[in-house]
Every structure is written in C-alpha cells, then in structure tokens.
Amino acid sequence: MSFAIDRRGVLRFARYSSVGVGTFLLDLALLFVLTDFLKVQYVVATGIAFFFAVSLNYLISRKTVFRGSERSLKGGYLNFIIFALAGMVTSMLGMYILVSVFALYYIYARIIVAGFVGMWNYLMNLYVNFKVAGKH
C-alpha cells in the first residue's frame, strides 16, 4: 500500500501551525496577565484569553491558511466562533481537570489542552467551515 503525500495539505498545515503557535503565545500571555496580575480565576481567564486569540487566529488564517474559501467573512467567522466555542469549553474543562484534579501548573495544563483543541479546530475548519480540503 502506498501513501501519497499531499504537498498542498502539508503546506496548509504548516501555515496553520505557524499561525496557531503565534496566537497561542498571545493566549498564554493574556492568560498569565489575567491570572497573575489581574487575579482573574484561571478557568475564566482561559475563556477570555482563548476568545481574543482565536479571533485573531481567524483573521490571519482566513488570509493565509484557508485561502479560496467561498464563505463570506462574516459567515466564516460565525462558523469559526461556533467551533471555537466548543474548543473554549473543552479548554476550560480540560484546565479545570488538569489543574484542580491533577494539580498541574495552569500554564502547563493550558499547553497540553491547546494541542488537542488546536487539532480539533484545524480539522473542523478544513473540512466543515472553509471546505478547502483537497483544494489549492
């Protein structure tokens, strides 16, 4: 059995990963500031930071990762936010479990949770929202 590597798909995923790492660093910085300086509870701070970072991620991803989408800017953002809200709830729940149950440092917990949520968001946007899988 032979597997062909889809060069376009690999490049798209690399672009998505680059955007994701950048916006995730913003997410972590906001989480840290909200939690350590503004004393916002870490689960609430996770949701706030996630929302800001994912909105920026959408704007950049639309231009650089999911080019050629036939969805309007607003329609794509609405779908993006719906998937992101599922990711945010998953992130907040994962944070609660890893920090409160397993006593993991909140920054480490956020990094672990982000890996799972990031992959979910990529696949949902690739196949469902922007529908660009297999295109350009």
Q: Which of 63, 81, 72, 73 is nearest to 125 (CA)?
A: 81
Q: Is a pLDDT exceeding 80 seen at residue 133? A: no
Q: What is the pLDDT of residues 112-124, one digit of tens each?
A: 999 988 888 788 8
Q: What is the pLDDT of residues 72-124, one digit of tens each?
A: 888 888 888 888 888 888 988 999 999 999 999 999 999 999 998 888 878 88
pTM: 0.77
